[in-house]
Amino acid sequence: MNRRSFLTTTAATATLAATGGFAFAPSIARAQNQAVKVAFVGTLSGPGATLGTHLRDGWLAGVTRLNNQLGGRAVETLVIDDELKPDVAVSKVRAALERDKVDFVVGVVFSNMLQAIVRPVTESNTFLITANAGPSTLAGKGCSPFLFSSAYQNDQPHATMGQAAQDMGYKRVFILVPNYQAGKDAVAGFRSRYKGEVVDEIYVPLSQLDFSTEVTKIAAAKPDAVFTFMPGALGVNLVRQYRQAGLANIPFLSTFTVDESTLPAQGDAALDFYTAATWAPNFDNPQSRRFVQEFEAAYGYVPSNFAAHAYDAAHMLDAAIRRANGDVANKAALRTALEAGDFPSVRGALRLGPNHFPIQDFWLCKVAKRPDGKFQTETVRKVLTADADSYAASCKMG
């Protein structure tokens, strides 16, 4: 089943937003006012669109696996393109809350988008499940009873790579990240566990695609390794230019730079480059194997962590609504059910911390080429076990 037919067969569940717009799919369940309404928010246009597509498709794959239901109730998904513009995101999310009366908001690729919408959502006593973005500002003092994560706190994958760099004995590292909250969290996370020398620390605009200046600086610095966080199109261009500049002999340590959302465009240029993640497509557990098989059959590409975490978000909500006996208006029961964190994850066993972010294992992964010619990340070794983010202690919620 290809991607188009998959979306068509789930038309009662979700509809794809037109560029800049959004709409609910027709459904019998809606007419009966029995459907759970979910607003999915993602970046579906511009440079970050590939990430938003993985996130959206992961959510839809999860809902499909659950027979187009959450907690035994029919579900409608409102797909919102945030356009990577905070004001646009807020406007569309407010409309979803006030006009469309959605029961939940899920998704969110970029941290600045989550920071923009978190107050309108949580202050309306609506649960927001972030399937990717996890800025430090919302994991500590800014935590909320209505904010949950099916992914991680931003620092954690980067801290994993910092620990990996420390374990591999690299003494001098060059750091390159985009200049926004998640980039700053990346550096904080990496430095929290890497104790060697940082020879340079460069921040670039989130829209930058030409890295010739930075590549030249890396070559001149001659570090033992490079650590970078460059999501989406930024990562595609950086990896190509890094390989073309002949720097592949300098170990490339990254997060969200070489993954299944970028590998189709990066191809051989990314081979043997490292990343840190909570999950990889070669995870050997029943939930993960089923997810990868069904996702690839439906969409024709290899799922990334973005897709996996959104898939898990669907299962998280399904388990919680079921535990609340299908009553999505019972906020106290839903919160207790969500906090239980007892849903089948593609990552295996995990639990939620006091700030509603997962406590889980983190892995060092490496880019590989499969026998069928497709690229994917594969686990090298577990770096952190049952890791909790460092901000949870500052979270005080009633």
Q: Please report the DSSP string for 96-110 in residue order.
A: HHHTS--SEEEE--S
- The CA-atom distances, in angstroms, between 323 and each of 24, 127, 223, 320 are 26, 16, 52, 5
- Residue 193 forms part of a structural domain: yes
| Residue 29 pLDDT > 50 | no
Mean pLDDT of 161-182: 95
Do 144 and 50 lie in one domain? The reply is: yes
Q: Is the pLDDT of residue 25 over 80?
A: no
Q: What percent of the chain has pLDDT over 70?
A: 91
42: left (phi over 0), alpha (psi -120 to 50) or beta: beta
C-alpha dihedral, 122 to 128 to 133 to 137, nearest 10°: 30
Helix (H, G, I), strand (E, B) or coil at 120: helix
Could you tell me if 160 and 207 lie in one domain? yes
Cβ-in-10-Å burial (0-12, 13-18, 19+) of 356 comes to: buried
Beta-bridge partners for 379: 365
Report the number of distinct structural domains present in the chain. Answer: 2
**Cα-based distances in Å from 56 to 172, 207, 379:** 39, 22, 24
Write the pLDDT tens digit of every residue in 294-314.
999 999 999 999 999 999 999
Q: What confidence tens digit (pLDDT) does each residue in 256-290 have? A: 999 999 999 999 999 999 999 999 999 999 999 99
Burial of 55 (0-12, 13-18, 19+ CB in 10 A): buried
Q: What is the largest CA-CA distance in the chain?
A: 66
Both 146 and 83 in a single domain?
yes
Question: Which is more confidently placed, 103 or 2?
Answer: 103
Q: What is the rounded CA–CA span in Å between residue 210 and residue 205?
A: 11
Amino acid at 117: I
With bands split at pLDDT 50, 70 and 90, how would you rate the model's confidence at 326?
A: very high
17: DSSP letter? P
Same domain, yes or no, for 132 and 245? no
- Give the residue-averaged pLDDT of 320-328: 96
Q: Sorting pLDDT into bands at 50, 70 and 90, what band is 9? A: very low
Together in a domain, 159 and 145: no
Cα 140 to chain centroid, rounded: 19
CA distances from 182 to 46, 97, 110, 240, 250 (A): 18, 26, 8, 23, 24
pLDDT reading at 201 higher than 90: yes
- Rounded Cα distance, 279 and 271, in Å: 18
Domain that holds residue 260: 155-277
Query: Is residue 293 one of the residues assigned to a domain?
Result: yes
Residue 132: pLDDT band by 50, 70, 90 thresholds? Answer: very high
Is residue 269 located within the same domain as residue 159?
yes
Task: Give the integer Cα–Cα distance in Å for 374 and 61.
Answer: 20
The CATH number linked to 353 is: 3.40.50.2300
Position 229 in a domain = yes
Same domain, 165 and 238: yes
Asked if residue 289 and residue 147 are part of one domain, the reply reads yes
- 267 and 301 housed in the same domain: no
pLDDT reported for residue 180: 85
End position of a domain, from candidates 226, 245, 277: 277
In the structure, what pLDDT confidence band is assigned to residue 231 with cuts at 50, 70 and 90? confident
Q: How confident is the model at residue 17 (pLDDT cuts 50, 70, 90)?
A: very low
Burial level of 145, CB count in 10 A (0-12/13-18/19+)? middle
- 393 domain residue, yes or no: no
Q: Is residue 14 part of a domain?
A: no
Note whether residue 344 is domain-resident: yes
- Res. 207 pLDDT band, cuts 50 70 90: confident
For residues 74 and 137, membership in a common domain is answered with yes
Does some domain include residue 384?
no
Do 196 and 168 share a structural domain?
yes
Mean pLDDT lowest for which of 3-7, 19-23, 191-195? Answer: 3-7
Segment 357-382 shows an average pLDDT of 97
Q: Which of 277, 303, 322 is the last residue of a domain?
A: 277
Sorting pLDDT into bands at 50, 70 and 90, what band is 160?
A: very high
Domain-embedded: residue 365: no
Provide the mean pLDDT of the chain: 91
What is the value of pTM for the model shown? 0.89
Split at pLDDT 50, 70, 90, the class of 374 is very high
**Predicted pLDDT at 3:** 30
- The last residue of a domain, from among 261, 277, 293: 277
pLDDT higher than threshold 70 for residue 195: yes
Residue 28 pLDDT exceeds 60: no
The yes-or-no verdict on residue 228 having pLDDT over 90 is yes
Same domain flag for 35 and 100: yes
Flag whether pLDDT at 369 surpasses 80: yes
